[in-house]
A and B are shown apart, each in its own frame.
Chain A
Amino acid sequence: MEEYEIIIGLEVHVELLTDSKMFCGCSTKFGAPPNSHICPVCAGFPGVLPVINRKAVELALKTATAFNCKISPFSRFARKHYFYPDLPKNYQISQYEEPLAIEGVLLVDNRNIRIRRIHLEEDAGKLIHPEDSRSFSLVDLNRSGVPLIEIVTEPDVRSASEAEKFLAILKRILEYLEVSDCNMEEGSLRCDANISVRRYGDTNFGVKTEIKNMNSFRAVRKALEYEARRQIACLKEGRTLRQETRLWNENLQITEEMRRKEEAQDYRYFPEPDLPPLIFDNKIIEEINLKVGELPFQRKGRFIKEYNLSDYDAEVLTSKKDIADYFESCVEKGGKPKIVANWIMGDLTALLKAKKKDIGHSPVSPEYLVQIISMIEDGKITGVVAKMVLQECFNTGISPEKIVSERDLLQIEDGETINNIVEETITENADAVQDYKNGKEQALSFLIGQIMRKTKGKANPAVVRNKLQEYLNKKR
């Protein structure tokens, strides 16, 4: 097998994280009832006019920048014509001769994988083939017109596992920039591959096949491994390969020939007359560069070095650009990196998740989070109170310092006050005291809990523990 070199090129389609579709205001939300997110524009009614979604273009430009592409000073949409029931206009608005960006490169384990082009286009609808019917199919156009970017590599990938790695890196970048959620199950990331093999030393490419229908990164690797073996076996037997499209069969773990079309595809591309071209000058490109900034891998490495974070913490904090920005803003304002990281990854993330908000729109600003952290460090509030304050601040947007002063939440450290409460608690919980004396250590935690409840979490837990133990041992 080693005498053959494997040549792979990838074609990745990614659905962009916009709220509305590429050319109309219909929602892109996944899983809506059939045909509930459609209008005359995305359903291809005659006489309608598409208008380009600004955010979709911005996300595509960010991607192009992250993949080191040249952004075309002039680009334009084109109509790609074909007949299929999921394509209501009988043409797809795509880009052809003048794509948004060209000639990029992505580093995969110290090897450069060149990006041939990145272009914008619209998604097609979805066809459903009812099990019980051989005679008809059903069409849902909710996905029709959802913005996509297509990323095409040069045939630079040299193994199935390298293809898998390329996709993992691509996914990490697109998630970090919040270009796409890259959810393969929901079809927001789809990958096709071209693969051929040749003897080492040959300069010409062998006959390639196109592989489709791979529904996970693992499936991409498995399909390409299988296909390389199949092609090599074929050549070794002296047979010739046919240029064709093959489908990955997940159940059988093989690629199968797709029914061939009688004629070559003729898409009759021409410039989309309903959409003015896109022109990007250096100023716009510079702005995008600034917005993209450092990529997740570099940033993660820097977080580990600069802030002394664990690999895990740095990975989570650089999963999205907004999270990383929020973290660094907290550190800039004086928060200790590890403590800030814990608050972000723990309580804050939980609150954001529950309210379905992203950190960029968090009511608890970096400044407020740092206020809370400083108040704990200065002994003004307990950890228990801090959690309450965070929640209150999250719900109301009121500053933590104000919440603490207005609601009288300052920590109780005063020995005499705590003494009184301890005494009171012991009198009220004679059973627990007896349990403790009989050697039940848990009784101590129970009593501490009672005291914290009485003081609404404000008592300094260390002082409480000391006083309580002192008291109980004295009485023993």
Chain B
Amino acid sequence: MEKNNLIKKEDVEYLANLARISLTEDEKEDLVKELGKIIEYVSQLSKVETKVTTGDISITNVFREDKVKNSTNTEEMISGAPDKEDNFFKVPRII
């Protein structure tokens, strides 16, 4: 059923778990195929001869000086949060 074995169903489930998304069985099947294709496509790159192995390094050492700038207004910053209390972001309890 799976034409290639670059991506298995367990891989999709593992990734979905890491990304905190839930998938239906159909969606998993689809993703096995789609992600497999993407991996296969990208893996062609490894056949290309190249010296650069770690991305663009034509720009290096870009710094800003250690100067304090005004922060953004607290109300504005938390205005988009799904939930808030006083000046805090409010989230479901995790411990």
List residues of chain A with CB under 8 Å of any chain B CB: 18-20, 24-27, 33-40, 43, 51-57, 74, 76, 81, 83-85, 127-129, 133-141, 263, 266, 268, 271, 273, 275-279
Contacts and interface: CB of A to CB of B under 8 A. Distances in A.
A36 B86 contact: no
Contacts of A268: 18
A152 to B, nearest CB: 23
User: What 10 pairs between A and B have smallest CB-CB spacing?
Assistant: A25-B69, A55-B66, A138-B88, A54-B63, A139-B89, A85-B91, A51-B64, A276-B59, A279-B60, A39-B72
A35 B62 contact: no
A319 B88 CA distance: 38
B42 interface: no
Interface of B: 17-18, 20, 54-55, 57, 59-72, 74, 77-78, 83, 85-95
Contact of A27 (B54, B63, B71, B74): B71
12 contacts: A33-B74, A34-B74, A35-B77, A35-B88, A38-B74, A39-B69, A39-B77, A53-B63, A54-B66, A136-B93, A138-B85, A139-B89
Contacts of A27: 68, 71
A54 B65 contact: yes
Contacts, number: 124
A127 B90 CA distance: 10
A276 B62 contact: yes
A141 B90 CA distance: 12
Nearest to B80: A45
Contacts of A275: 62
Contact of B94 (A36, A38, A85): A85
A156 B66 CA distance: 36
A84 B93 CA distance: 11
B71 A34 contact: no
B67 A25 contact: yes
Given A39-B77, A54-B63, A128-B88, A134 B71 contact: no
A271 B94 CA distance: 29
A83 B89 contact: no
Given A25-B69, A137-B94, A138-B88, A277 B64 contact: no
Contacts of B20: 83
Contacts of B17: 263
B88 A140 contact: yes
A54 B65 CA distance: 6
Contacts of A76: 54
B87 A35 contact: yes
A278 B85 contact: no
A57 B77 contact: no
Contact of B54 (A56, A140, A271, A278): A271
Contact of A18 (B18, B55, B62, B66): B66
Given A38-B77, A83-B20, A278-B61, 4 more contacts: A25-B70, A33-B87, A136-B83, A277-B60
Contacts of B94: 84-85, 127, 137
B51 to A, nearest CB: 15
A76 B54 CA distance: 10
Given A35-B77, A271-B54, A276-B60, A56 B66 contact: yes
